[in-house]
Amino acid sequence: MQGTINVGVVGCGYWGPNLIRNFRALGDCQLKMMCDVSEQRLKHMRALYPEVAAETNYERMLNEGGLDAVVIATSVRYHYPMAKASLLAGKHTMIEKPFASSTAECEELIDIAKKKGVVLMVGHTFLYSPVVRRIKEIVDSGDVGEIRYISARRLNLGLFQRDINVAWDLAPHDISVILHILQDQPLSVSCRGAAHVTPGIEDVTSMSLLFANSRSAIIQSSWLDPRKVREMTIVGSKRMIVYDDVAQQEKIKIFDVRVDRPPHYDTFAEFHYAYHYGDVYAPYVKQDEPLKTECQHFLDCIKTGTTPLTDGHKGLEIVRVLEASSQSLKLNGAPIDFSQAAKS
């Protein structure tokens, strides 16, 4: 596609304004329209961006807005119907995470996008972070050795959601990073949690993913923690990485530590684990706003016809894990095997 890309953003609540700000600042697109059911929100956004048209009717936005691309930043329950309408209207479509409410919805949207020949992208912003890209380079170089397990904690006080639990809200970030680093799909998922504030909507969850070769990942998510925590630990056979996204500086620290099991021993007295303690170093990473990189990537894919890094299939993989976590929650944490889940 040549020329300026006309973009519209629907959803001006929590995340939509960040998307509006970024698309408005990019040179090869024109942010033509903002859409929200709330007149009050639109009034606020028009005060910030008076040159951008405002619309409360999504159907009018699609049919009369003169748009090439639509960005959806609404509540999850609206992702599927809004994305379907956008794709059927022939618009390139970017959807905030999670992609949709079920794997069936994801598969249908992927199929429509393919038939219409338009770009479909899911907003897994952390995969566009320079820090995550650097971690991936370190892992791929073999510097940490074989990955043994990954532990992630994403905790804060609120923001409470009404249509999804905390796993669907916060864990997609960690799942997307874990799958990206391991370049593999889990064999099974188990999840436990509790709903302390809103009945039926878990505000604290602990999810376990089991991968091939005895690798695993644990993801802890909470809306009920007094501190904001965004931390991931990657434990390798040679070194370990701690990624702290809340830290202002040194978001990545590499620990030259490991535990070695003695290969041979004849008596218990000869058996000693070898603990290796080395240096800790923090590689320099130039900071760029991941969302700006993500928005530019969406435009680049539209112009060149390239498949996005976070295309519909990547979004589907993450929804499949989330769907399994919900099944496991109902079964008090029983593991959901993906070969079994595929049959059901």
Query: Domain with 263 in it: what CATH number?
Result: 3.30.360.10
- How far CA 77 is from CA of 18, 19, 64, 100, 197, in Å, comes to 20, 19, 24, 7, 21
Residue 160 banded pLDDT, cuts 50, 70, 90:
confident
More confident residue, 202 or 266: 202
Give residue 148's pLDDT.
96
139 vs 344, higher pLDDT = 139
Q: Which residue has the higher pLDDT, 243 or 281?
A: 243
Are residues 33 and 150 located together in one domain of the fold? Answer: no
* Backbone torsion region of residue 318, taken as left when φ is above 0, otherwise alpha when ψ lies between -120 and 50, otherwise beta: alpha
The CATH number covering residue 44 comes to 3.40.50.720
Residue 242 is assigned to a structural domain of this protein: yes
For residue 14, what are the domain limits?
A: 5-126+290-310
Element (H, E) at 109: helix 103-116
Nearest to 320 by CA among 31, 158, 101, 125: 101
What proportion of the chain, given as a percentage, has pLDDT over 70?
92
> Does 162 lie in the same domain as 254?
yes
For residues 16 and 9, the answer to whether their CB atoms sit within 8 Å is yes
pLDDT (0 to 100) of residue 287: 85
Both 151 and 285 in one domain: the answer is yes
335 versus 269: the higher-pLDDT residue is 335
Report pLDDT digits (tens) over 292-337.
999 999 999 999 999 999 999 999 999 999 999 999 999 999 999 9
Q: Do 171 and 213 have their domain in common? A: yes
Quick: pLDDT tens for 52-85: 999 999 999 999 889 999 999 999 999 999 999 9
Region 170-177: what's the mean pLDDT?
A: 98
Domain count of the chain? Answer: 2
User: Which residue, 12, 103, 96, 97, is CA-closest to 58?
Assistant: 12
Same domain, 122 and 152: no
Please give the structure tokens belonging to residue 30. 């024109």
